[in-house]
Amino acid sequence: MGSAQFEGFTHSLGIPAGMPVDKQEFDEILSFELHEPADILDADKLYTIPEIARLLQGLPADAELSEASESVFIDWAIPWMIFNQDDLVIADPQDDDVVGLYGLAES
């Protein structure tokens, strides 16, 4: 039962069912590059994690995404934020139902 749920979830995200996949099956393999925080964040603004996730994908911070795409983008953004924690700051939420906001640390 758990396996079927996992397969259904991964299929909806576009993950091939037969993993791993041979590199030879792809016409193009791209290099893996991580952006520097200063390259994607405005020094005068604070962002939510979903906004940062969009910016890391080269999208506008307010881009409309499906829930599945947003979830995957956030899964990439959080480790990036941890890796770059020395370059980031967080603003304490001013209200209990407001999320934290993140931005560039002063250099």
The domain of 58 spans: 32-102
Q: What is the pLDDT of residue 32?
A: 77
57 Cβ contact partners less than 8 Å away, ≥ 6 residues apart:
73
Which pTM does this prediction carry?
0.74
**pLDDT per position as a tens digit, 88-105:** 999 987 788 878 899 999
Decide which of 78 and 5 is more confident.
78
Q: Please report whether residue 87 resides in a domain.
A: yes
Q: How far apart are CA 47 and CA 26, in angstroms?
A: 35
Residue 95 inside a domain? The answer is yes
Q: Kindly report, residue by residue over 6-59, the tens digit of the pLDDT.
A: 444 444 556 666 778 888 988 998 887 788 999 999 999 999 999 999 999 999
Q: Please check whether residue 13 lies inside any domain of the structure.
A: no
CA distance 11 to 33: 26
**What is the count of structural domains for the chain?**
1
Does residue 1 form part of some domain? no
**Residue 2: pLDDT band with limits 50, 70, 90:** very low
22 in any annotated domain? no
